[in-house]
């Protein structure tokens, strides 16, 4: 009988990591070997298969079309192996690892995570806060919350919310922004990381979408929010992210004129990955909590944990 695995499993894993990450070093780190050993894995695998898998270019190593075509199957297979082993041992079932951006973490999730924890006392939530697109197939990450249009390779997504956006500002400058036309005469905070569309909002407000807007510039979204709260100017922000500050009076929506964009916040998981019970709990909680939060209900009562059964694996 022909060997169904003509190349060693470690070599197959090296192929998958290099093809997905576009470099030898991540595979070396994950496999605990040298970069030279990874290179040997690839060469020997190509010899055994009788075909080239990668193009060696001045810009780096690139997977060839045949490998690109089967890469989702390889990634999904290794992800299922990881999940199967975790299920067998019960590892990490009591911990939910979530990767999120700084704005979602600081303006929304951190104020509500205690409510989720109260519902599932035996389930610990661990946050990895970063602006980078972390690899969701990593065994130490269960899911991520990403902002965008939902089209990321190798990822399954479900929309959480955050599509509506509009200008906000501190009550300190309320009298300076009586109509949208006043935007030409007040500071407008520029968040360099934002994907929100000022021209679309200006058009809805009946203004020239090319209207010059000037004000302080920030390369960190959380600082841009704080700048708006401190009265430095007008900020274009998602309603979901400003609801709490509007509810408690730190921010106002001077024009009450939201625009629905094509982007939003998505719960993202690696494609083909088994969904454990803990992730289903988090998904269901988001589906209930996000609509309430848009109305600014951050101070809802936390459930009485005495009446709740602890999270069980």
DSSP letter for each residue of 131-166: SS---TTSTT--EEEEEESS--TTEEEEEEE--EEE
Other beta carbons less than 10 A from residue 242's beta carbon: 26
Q: Round to whole Å and give the CA distance between 216 and 234.
A: 10
pLDDT confidence of residue 306 = 34
First to last CA, the chain: 41
Same domain, 69 and 115: no
Handedness of CA 77, 83, 88, 89 (dihedral sign): positive
As for how many domains the chain has, the answer is 3
Q: Give the end of a domain, one of 52, 70, 89.
A: 89
Give the pLDDT of the chain (313 residues) as one tens digit per residue.
456 667 888 888 889 889 888 888 888 888 888 999 999 999 998 888 888 999 988 878 889 999 988 888 887 777 777 666 665 544 557 899 999 998 899 999 999 999 999 999 889 999 999 888 888 887 789 999 999 999 998 899 999 999 999 999 999 999 999 999 999 999 999 999 999 999 999 999 999 999 999 999 999 998 999 999 999 999 999 999 999 999 999 999 999 999 999 999 999 998 877 788 899 999 999 999 998 887 754 444 334 333 344 455 4
Same domain, 159 and 175: no
DSSP letter for each residue of 43-64: HHHHHHHTS--EEEETTEEEE-
The angle subtended at Cα 92 by Cα 89 and Cα 98, nearest 5°, is 150
Q: Would you say residue 83 lies in a domain?
A: yes
Same domain, 55 and 101: no
Same domain, 146 and 77: no
Q: Would you say residue 305 lies in a domain?
A: no
CATH number at residue 41: 1.10.10.10
Same domain, 135 and 249: no
Q: Round to whole Å and give the CA distance between 267 and 146.
A: 7
Q: Would you say residue 288 lies in a domain?
A: yes
96-109 as b/e: b if 16+ CB within 10 A:
bbbbbbbbbbbbbb
Are 201 and 83 in contact by the 8 Å Cβ rule? The answer is no
Same domain, 41 and 61: yes
- Provide the CB-side half-sphere exposure for 310 (13 A, CA): 7
| Range of the structural domain that residue 250 is part of | 164-260
Q: Round to whole Å and give the CA distance between 252 and 242.
A: 9
DSSP letter for each residue of 100-117: E-HHHHHHTGGGTHHHHH
């Amino acid at each position: 009988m022909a060997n169904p695995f003509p190349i060693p499993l470690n070599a197959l894993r090296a192929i998958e990591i290099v093809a997905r990450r576009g470099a030898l070093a991540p595979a070396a780190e994950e496999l605990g070997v040298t970069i030279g050993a990874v290179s040997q894995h690839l060469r020997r695998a190509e010899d055994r298969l009788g075909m080239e898998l990668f193009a060696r270019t001045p810009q780096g190593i690139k997977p060839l079309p045949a490998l690109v075509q089967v890469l989702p199957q390889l990634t999904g297979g290794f992800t299922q192996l990881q999940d199967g082993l975790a299920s067998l041992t019960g590892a990490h079932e009591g911990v939910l690892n979530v990767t999120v951006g700084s704005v979602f973490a600081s303006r929304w999730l951190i104020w509500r995570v205690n409510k989720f924890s109260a519902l599932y006392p035996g389930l610990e939530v661990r946050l990895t806060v970063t602006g980078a697109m972390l690899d969701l197939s990593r065994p130490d990450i269960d899911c991520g919350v990403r902002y965008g249009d939902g089209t990321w390779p190798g990822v399954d997504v479900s929309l959480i919310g955050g599509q509506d956006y509009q200008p906000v500002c501190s009550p300190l400058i309320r009298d300076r922004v009586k109509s949208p036309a006043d935007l030409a005469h007040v500071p407008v905070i520029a968040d360099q990381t934002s994907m929100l569309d000022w021209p679309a909002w200006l058009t809805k407000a009946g203004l020239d979408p090319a209207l010059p807007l000037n004000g302080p510039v920030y390369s960190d979204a959380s600082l841009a929010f704080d700048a708006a709260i401190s009265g430095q100017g007008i900020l274009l922000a998602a309603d979901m992210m400003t609801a709490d500050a509007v509810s408690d009076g730190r921010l106002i929506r001077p024009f009450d004129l939201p625009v629905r964009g094509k982007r939003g916040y998505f719960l993202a998981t690696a494609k083909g990955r088994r969904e454990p019970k803990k992730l289903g709990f988090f998904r269901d909680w988001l589906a209930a909590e996000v609509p309430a939060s848009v109305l600014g209900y951050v101070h809802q009562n936390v459930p009485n944990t005495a009446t709740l059964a602890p999270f069980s694996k």
